[in-house]
Amino acid sequence: MTVAVFLASLLGAMAIGMPVAFALIVCGLALMLHLDRFDTQIVAQNLIIGADNFQLLAVPFFLLAGELMNAGGLSRRIVKVAVTLVGHVHGGLGYVAIFAAVVMASLSGSAAADTAALASILIPMMREAGYNMPRSAGLIAAGGVIAPVIPPSIGFIIFGVAANVSITQLFLAGVFPGLLMGVSLVIAWAWVVRRDKVSVFPKASWGERLRAAVDGIWALAMPVIILGGIKFGVVTPTEAAVLAAVYALFVGLFIYRELKLSQLYRVMLIAAKTTAVVMFLVASALVSAWLITQANIPAELAGVLAPFREHPKLLLLIMMLLVLVVGTALDFAPTVLILTPVLMPVVKAAGIDPVYFGVLFIMNNAIGLLTPPVGIVLNVVSGVARMPMGAVIRGVTPFLIAQVTVLLLLVAFPELVTVPLKWLRGR
């Protein structure tokens, strides 16, 4: 009955068009009434506690870094480096999109921001070169969802806070799986583009490549500084976010000089609005999360999944399928915030490494950004490319299959996450 109240109140509130953050509060109120523990102070206290977390300071700074990176010319230079390297091969602009997506993922951690930047730069180039546009838009969308997996990842920060798991360990564990997602896109793109007749760029000389690399060195150095600082303990993830924002601001203003002082207000306003949405979601989620625990819903779910506890891989597969289905109807952050307090007790009871689970969970939620009807990344690409959503959905299908295949490989072979993590830890 408790689970029915939880689902009915949450889904019912969203069905009438209520924003997810308010739906989470309504869900909490419904659970309080059901448990006969109605007290408005519980709502107020948990809202405050939910937002009062030092680690969440990383969210606004990484979002700001992403906006500064796009406005300051860092994104364009990353694309230019990739064009000089692979622009001359058949389907080269697709490989440029993948390379740029992986590099940009290590700068901002925001799938929507990275996708918008890549689409605005590459879609016109791909259209002029004769590429299949739905497929090209689908590739850029699929590349964009690598951002929540490769650190710095806003998704890992939210999950780490909600699940009480080390964000530093999550960051390090996400590096290799994120690169695998990029490799899967390379393979899928090579397969689908092999028969297309597209024009290519003239092969760049080594001198042109060197000049592009020198021009882009400040942009390419940013992920090295951030990840290196986290790995060697120089900065925490929160401090790394501040470092990324300051670095992007400095490079945009004084090195590339494409970021103007007059643009700073607009850039900061965009980052502030996005931060407000994310932080209110996190605060609202703690209300429902506290009441989910009080209502003993995790224990009920653990009882349902108890027969699979002796088979961790099968249990993981079932949970991943659940997350994949939920991800078709909910956006990234709400899915993470709603399911984390429900699933984590089951994960711990089954003896599954929380960091390993966190990587799979966030990757799965990232893939959910590509699945209709919500699919926010699909909406971003559709808007930038001025293309019908149906065409983008058809175009993204082979790349969606590639990303899901990587997820299943990680479920089947945990070593693909745990072994690189041990190496990055230095032990």
Neighbours of 347 (CB within 10 A): 22
Q: Which range is least confidently modeled, 187-196, 301-310, 313-322?
A: 301-310
Residue pair 147/111 in contact by the 8 Å Cβ criterion: yes
157 CB-contact burial (10 Å; exposed 0-12 / middle 13-18 / buried 19+) = buried
For 11-31, what is each residue's pLDDT tens digit? Answer: 787 778 777 778 878 877 887
* Per-residue model confidence (pLDDT) at position 125: 86
What tokens appear for 247 in the block? 């670095």
Per residue in 108-156, pLDDT (tens digit) is 667 777 788 788 888 888 888 888 899 999 999 999 899 889 988 888 9
Answer whether 95's CB lies under 8 Å from 302's CB: no
Q: Which two tokens stand for residue 320?
A: 């991943």
Instruction: Residue count of the chain, please give it.
Output: 427
pLDDT at 382: 82
Mean pLDDT, range 240-246, rounded to an integer: 87
The amino acid sitting at 44 is: A
**For residue 325, what pLDDT is reported?**
81
Assess if residue 419 is contained within a domain.
Answer: yes
The reply to whether omega before 223 is within 30° of 0 (cis) is: no
What percentage of the chain carries pLDDT values higher than 90?
19
Q: Is residue 73 in some structural domain?
A: yes
Question: Whole-model pTM?
Answer: 0.82
Query: Is the separation of the CB atoms in 346 and 101 below 8 Å?
Result: no
User: Tens digit of pLDDT for each residue in 32-41?
Assistant: 887 777 777 7
Q: Are 339 and 150 in contact (CB under 8 A)?
A: no
Residue 4 in any domain: the answer is no
- Provide the phi-psi class of 112: left if phi over 0, else alpha when psi is between -120 and 50, else beta: alpha
User: Is position 28 within any domain?
Assistant: no
Domain interval for residue 357: 39-425
In a domain, 131, yes or no: yes
Q: Residue 299 has what pLDDT?
A: 65
Question: Quick check: is 357 in a domain?
Answer: yes
Q: Distance from CA of residue 395 to its chain's centroid?
A: 20
Higher confidence at residue 399 or residue 108? 399
Distances (CA, A) of 101 to 82, 131, 183, 361, 400: 10, 18, 12, 20, 15
Report how far residue 291's alpha carbon sits from residue 27's, in angstroms, rounded to the nearest whole number.
9
> Measuring CA to CA, which residue among 380, 359, 85, 51 is closest to residue 205?
85
Mean pLDDT of the chain: 84
Dihedral angle over CA of 259, 261, 262, 268, nearest 10: 80
Domains identified in the chain, total number:
1
Of 421, 301, 403, 303, the C-alpha closest to 357 is: 421
pLDDT, mean of residues 277-291: 76
What's the first-to-final CA gap in the chain, in angstroms? 47
Spell out the SS3 assignment of 269-300: HHHHHHHHHHHHHHHHHHHHHHHHHHCCHHHH
Residue 128, SS3? helix
| 331 assigned to some structural domain | yes
In whole angstroms, what is the distance from residue 24 CA to residue 9 CA?
A: 9
Work out the average pLDDT over 407-414.
93
Name every residue whose Cβ is closer than 8 Å to that of residue 283 and which is 6 or more positions away in sequence: 21, 46, 47, 48, 50, 51
Which pLDDT does position 181 carry in this prediction? Answer: 94
Lowest mean pLDDT segment, chosen from 36-40, 70-74, 246-250, 277-281:
36-40
Share of the chain above pLDDT 70, in %: 94
| pLDDT surpassing 70 at residue 282 | yes
pLDDT at 374: 60
Residue 97 lies in a domain: yes
Residue-level pLDDT at 362: 93
Predicted confidence at residue 11, as pLDDT, reads: 74
8 Å CB contact between 259 and 71: yes
Helical H runs in 306-388?
312-327, 332-349, 354-367, 376-385
